[in-house]
Structure 1
Amino acid sequence: MKPVITRRDFGTLAVGALGAVAAPAGFAQSGTFPAKPIKIIAPFAPGGGTDYIARVVATKLGERLKQPVIVENRPGAGGNLGTELALKSPPDGYTLLLVAGSYTVNPSVYKLNFDPIADMTPVIQLSRGAYVLVVNAALPVKSLAELLDLMRKEPGKIAYGSSGQGGHLHIVTEYMLDLAKAKATHVPYKGTGPAVTDLIAGNVQMMFAGTEAVMQHVKAGKLRALAVGTAKRLAAFPDIPSVAEAGVPGYDVVAWHGLIAPKGVPAPIVEALNREINATLATKEMEDRLAINGVGTAGGSPAQFGSLLQAEVERYGKVIRQAGIKADQ
């Protein structure tokens, strides 16, 4: 499979796909894509699982495309600074944006200068992972049902940690509490690491976190895993029930990463990127590299990823409004 689009390919794919949307000048003149390096803007600080995924994908995609794929970190304002920069870049396929769950939360937490759905072009979902609900090992509960019973009997007594006010872990916890009709006290931290440290110390009693952040502590007996956030159990941890089967029907949260582009990128370019990234994700090497961080590869079509983004913006917007959640000022 060649990672280029010829002039003939472009003409064939464009018919009926874009209407009046024209191809960028560089694309039309060169007749191939990509003709120069591609940039992935990561709106997070260097290091950590999200940055790792961006760089692994960039390296392997660059090898397929025979062009450098560069990761540029632009952190700030909950990821919104780098996001705005990316979405206001030329829609030529040479600037992509790495997004995670926070992308679908931020529209309801911050006042944005862009529309997270109307101003972007979905490209592909990169990864699929799960959050695990864990408690301090000294807490006298052995199941989610017992934890919920305790929270309902003494509303607000149980404190839960998160990676930050208005962050994805904060929202997915409030989502569970809302469905379960239970109350707990939120304690935000500056990152997942500090929250897990305080959970182990007993300063908070529960939290959702990625498998990569907590399962080693579960195995060491410092934390107890009560449930996973996905609708089904994880193959890697088959003894841990899902939140839905353990007492909160309907709860289904996937931890994911994906790539989007500015609004108006021509369909043939989006299709080329999607095709090559799907092929990259399908390799055993990529599966193994992402598994280091406890996640699996995803893939799929741009439309599928766009539907996920739309659904999560709507779902979490409702949770945020009901809970009155606002970002730190």
Structure 2
Amino acid sequence: MKKRFVLFMSLFLVLSLALMGCAPKAPAASKTEGSAEDEFKFERKIELVCPWGAGGGADSTLRAFASALEKEIGVPVVVNNVEGGGGVKGVEYSAKQPADGYTYMLGTQSLLLVNMQKLSSVDIYKEFIPVTKLVHDTNVIVASSKAPYTNFDELVEYIKANPGKVKCGVMTITGVDAFTVRETFEKAGVDVPLVAFNNGAELNAAIIGGHVDLATVGPAEVKGLVDSGDMRPIIVASEKRLPMIPDVEATGEKGIESYLGPMRGIFAKQGTPEAAIKAFEAAAAKAHASAEFQEWMKTVALDQRAGYANAADFQAIWTEQNETLTELFNKYNK
């Protein structure tokens, strides 16, 4: 009897354990969006590609941003100038890098124009994602201080008296700077041929040396040369004058609707992890708002137009710019 009882209890215990093993388990805590497990942590240096050479507005903007970003993102941030082909080499280099969240590219609307001409094997509009807009610069048409004209009206009269003689240097024949020249002088009733240069330093030297008559530049790029008396600003492509050069007329006050200026922003290759893009975007917002970057923008007159935009807003702006420039491209390339 005692043996039967022990056997019964043993069987009961085995059956109970088996039933417990089949019982449904409590659901694991679900991972909520934005939890620590979802956050992207940068663990090595970040490369920012500049598709243009040193000495220009794109390069100076990217270097100022990289310095502020490094303080916010927690890893080294390096700038790599890959110049050539009006930005094409930099784009194609960026497209070949891994989409792992550690390589980003500076871009302006000039790259959209490169795309329209099919000068690159990379479809820039489709293969890169807008991440954050940094600045909206203003184009200024400048001349050598030795030029026989001191303002826009005198320049226009000189061009009319010397057709075909005055040429303007630009970074890209079909870039935003070139469209600024075309719009401005077309509406003034004169024609100015364009000459392309590889980088800002080369263009500045050509102006000072008298090898080209005019140049389209950002005010910060030539402030030192203007202050030293080597260059003379002629007109600002803006609705109003710039505080940096208050004596220089703006196209708006001359009744000339020519306001194009380079928007500089950061792009990521398609396929880059969304978490990495969000982490970069968050750090970029803090870097842009930092006292260091804000003071730099003020110093170089980049605080005159709304600069910063997050990824969603930048995508909308980028789409609008693509449509606007497509119209201009078709107009000037019939």
Verify same fold: TM over 0.5. Answer: yes
- 2:316: which partner in 1? 307
SS for the counterpart of 2:33 is helix
8 Å CA contact 2:84, 2:198 repeated in 1: no
1:107 aligned to which of 115, 133, 158: 115
The question of whether the paired residues in 1 share the 8 Å contact of 2:109 and 2:263 is answered with: yes
Alignment CA distance shift 1:174-1:274 (3 Å): same
Q: Mean alpha-carbon deviation: is it higher for 285-294 or for 205-214?
A: 285-294
Query: What is the correspondence of 1:1-329 to structure 2 with a 5 Å cutoff?
Result: 8-10=32-34, 31-37=38-44, 38-45=46-53, 49-87=57-95, 89-152=97-160, 154-248=162-256, 250-265=257-272, 269-290=276-297, 295-296=302-303, 298-324=307-333
Match of 1:23 in 2: none
AA at the equivalent of 2:282? R
Deviations 1:191-232 (A, max 9, x none): 333333333344433222121333333334443322212333
TM-score normalised according to structure 1 size: 0.76
Deviation string, structure 1 residues 125-156 (Cα, Å, up to 9, x no partner):
12232221123344444432343344356542
Give the TM-score normalised by structure 2.
0.75
Percent sequence identity is 23
Residues 323 and 282 (structure 1), Cα distance of their counterparts in 2 relative to 1, 3 Å cut: same
Residues 7-29 of structure 1, C-alpha deviations (whole Å, 9 max, x = no match): 53337xxxxxxxxxxxxxxxx9x
Which deviates further from its counterpart, 207-216 or 68-77?
Answer: 68-77
Contact 2:134 2:265 in 1 (8 A): yes
Provide structure 1 residue ranges, at least 5 long, that are not aligned to the other structure. Answer: 1-6, 12-27
Structure with higher Rg: it is: 2
Task: After TM superposition, give the deviation of residue 170 of structure 1 in Å.
Answer: 3.0
Deviations 1:256-302 (A, max 9, x none): 32101123545554343223211111111122345565544832222
1:260 partner letter: F
The residue that corresponds to 2:23 in the other structure is none
Query: For residues 271 and 58 of structure 1, do their structure 2 counterparts lie closer, same or farther at Cα, with a shift above 3 Å needed?
Result: same
Change beyond 3 A, Cα 1:63–1:219 = closer
Contact 2:136 2:302 in 1 (8 A): yes
Structure-2 change in CA distance of 1:135 and 1:112 (3 Å): same
Q: Aligned partners of 2:207 and 2:42: how far apart in 1?
A: 49
Look up the equivalent residue of 1:276 and give its one-letter code. Answer: A
Bigger drift between 57-66 and 312-321 goes to 312-321
| Partner-residue secondary structure (3-state), 2:34 | helix
Aligned length: 301
How far does residue 166 in structure 1 lie from its aligned partner after superposition? 4.1
SS at structure 2 position matched to 1:198: helix
